[in-house]
Structure 1
Amino acid sequence: GLPVVSVDYRLAVDGVTHPVPHDDCWAAYQWVRAGGHGLPTDPARVAVGGGSAGACLAASVGLHGRDAGQAPAGVFLAYPLVHYPLPGPSVELAAVLSTLPPVLLGPEGENDALMAQLLGPELTGVEHFDYAMPGNAESLTGYPRTYIENCEADELRASGERFAEQLAQAGVDVEQHTVPGETHGHLSVPGLPTAKATCAHFAAFIGDVLR
């Protein structure tokens, strides 16, 4: 019974870098809050979410919203990457990753290469770096209520777990779960039972924050 808006933000390719993808998502968020889709809208009941790179952008909208006094009702994230550099894995996560075949692990230096696409070749020093990597924000106090779902056998779980820790330390209402046995991107597999469960968890979170 809720409208869902999927944002066709410009990708970090062909010279497009931060803040362009963030600005696209922020503009779409403001458009939704203003009822641009033509449906009755309570701006205080708009939630944002996404997966992987989209999770980073959703998290950045949450941070920008806090700063602008237009915070989302909630933020829900699947296997987010919200830090640069990527936090090191825990002993437990490193042990899990060591069991994966090479095809499921990114090549050495891949994260830096991907970050260079988003941030530009200098990687740091960009304007509003925290809107590119919300986990690098100086403070997360006042951040919206958040739900995070990570995958057990995913290198990026280190970022999702660290972000949950930071939010909790900042006094934010945050909940996180780990999808057992799954690698990055399980939501992209139609009909996968674990993906259905994650969608159900997100739906429950959205229903709760909008009540």
Structure 2
Amino acid sequence: MVAAASIRSVNVIAASRGGAGDVVDEIVELGGEAVAVRLDVANLPSIEAARVAALTGIREKWNATTIDVLVNNAGVGLFAPLGAMTAEDFDTTFAVNVRGPLFLTQAFLPHLAKGAAIVNVSSSLSRHVSPATSVYAASKKALEALTRSLAAELGPRGIRVNSIAPGPTATDFNGGAMRDSDATRETLSAQTALGRVGEPDDIADAIAALVSGDFRWATGERIEVSGGVLL
């Protein structure tokens, strides 16, 4: 997701493989402004096409030429025990979770405003262990290392780069298991200090705070928003 900030609000470019039209509709209903672009972060030509579409969108809709916030939140989790993990699973996981954020950031780097903020969405699984999540956890740990490296590299331009690490959250990730399965929600809720799984707004609010001026002195950080899972 890419956002171009105006003085009074944040105008959003929402990107997904399906075009994110539903997200745009929701933003508009709430009184905001947004446009949608198609993006498959595992596909490098798609990244370039999304870059062109995003720049066209912010120029035509808001007369803007730079981007103030970049959130790399695409992710895939292909969970399997070691004996069942395939090379294709590994390649897909790292293509989406690591290579995608790297080359998406590279593509938009010339268009980021001085003082822009980048947020990479990691996972609490980069801290604690869970069976059958080895490749996914490794990809998120790699993303956090990438975050720190880019924070050092882009700091001279005033660009902050941080990572947010959600815990179990009720989204459509992993087939919506944490949203739709009462048994899964009950099990995971029991593992958190705050006694529930996260909701999308819990993560969105944390990202909004992180890219705001209130966090202007934070870069290269990993901030976990997991309700205290498996402390």
TM range, smaller chain? 0.3 to 0.5
Higher normalized strand content (fraction of residues):
2
Could you say which structure has the larger radius of gyration? 2
Q: TM-score, normalised by structure 2?
A: 0.44
Higher normalized helix content (fraction of residues):
2
**Higher normalized contact order (CA 8 Å, seq sep 6+, divided by chain length):** 1
Q: TM-score, normalised by structure 1?
A: 0.48
